[in-house]
Amino acid sequence: MTTHSNAPIVMQAKGLVKRYGQVTALDGADFELRAGEILAVIGDNGAGKSSLIKALSGATIPDQGEVFLDGKSIHFKSPIEARRAGIETVYQDLAVAPAMTIAENLFLGRELRRPGILGSVFQMIDKKKMLEESIARMNDLKVGIRSMNQAVETLSGGQRQCVAVARAAAFAEHVVILDEPTAALGVKEGNMVLELIRRVRDKGLSVILISHNMPHVFEIADRIHIARLGKRAAVVDPKHISMSDTVAVMTGAKSAAELPHQALAH
């Protein structure tokens, strides 16, 4: 995939500030996400990347600055509001209910109900339809899990993460935010999740990927947003920059101005 330098901007943030007491986590951070891209967000601990993601996903409310979705100013007060606006977030380690089936996990919080009075008054869920839809959606994303009726805890770590990502992708209208989706996974399992993230992008969704894993970031990101000291240090093009230069910007050893022009993404 080439960098979508002319793709429209889906999500944007301008001058975000977030302070926690004496600590300034975000210090005028800017952010841009283009349609149909995988944007990796990297940064050292304390660089403000998780505060940035929290502000975008509605988990925290920034003190200053503005967030735009499709050009419209938005003010999320909770992750649930962000979700209603079409932004799905997969939180690290917090994604699934292990003893429940894959189908139930996919539809958790938006269960399909039986038609008529059984669904409306008696709140009965339509297990058959949820199962069929789960199979269709997982096939759509080519997640090869045989039975949607097995408990999530019977799956491997990578498969579990795939279920969480697939759930987000199946319901997101605009943006999928993934927080360290390949952390704690083996090589093969990590690749399985990366493949899935690519397919999510190829469906036309925009993906924000927070990751510490540089090889993974360079493997699938279309652009890389480097957070540093609560600001955006640079947005780089992984095809035209080395991993060591990227890390240098991240740690402050190099400034964005010192990078060759083609290394910067627009």
Q: Which of 156, 161, 136, 165 is nearest to 148 (CA)?
A: 136
Residues 24-83 that bind other proteins (CB under 8 A): 79-80, 83
What x-and-dash track marks residues 155-174 binding other proteins by CB under 8 A?
xx--x---------------
For residue 42, the minimal CB distance to other proteins (Å) is 24
Nearer residue to other proteins within complex by CB, 26 or 96: 96
Provide, rounded to whole angstroms, the least separation between the CB of residue 79 and other proteins.
6
- Say which residues have a Cβ less than 8 Å from residue 72's Cβ, sequence separation at least 6: none
Q: How far apart are CA 52 and CA 218, in angstroms?
A: 21
- 146 counts as binding other proteins under rule CB under 8 A: yes
Residues 203-262 that bind other proteins (CB under 8 A): none
Q: Is 96 in the site for other proteins (CB under 8 A)?
A: yes
Ranges of beta strands (E only) in 21-120 are 23-34, 38-43, 64-69, 72-74, 87-90
Does residue 127 belong to the site contacting other proteins (CB under 8 A)? yes
Smallest distance, Å, CB 248 to other proteins?
36
What region, left, alpha or beta, does residue 263 occupy, with left being phi > 0 and alpha being psi -120 to 50 degrees? alpha
Q: Is 100 in the site for other proteins (CB under 8 A)?
A: yes
Integer Cα distance of 261 and 43 in angstroms? 21
What torsion do the CA atoms of 81, 213, 231, 206 make, to the nearest 10 degrees? -40
Part of the chain binding other proteins (CB under 8 A), chosen from 43-51, 132-140, 152-160, 237-245: 152-160
Q: Which residues bind other proteins (CB under 8 A)?
A: 79-80, 83, 89, 91, 94-100, 104, 108-111, 113, 122-125, 127, 144-147, 150, 153-156, 159
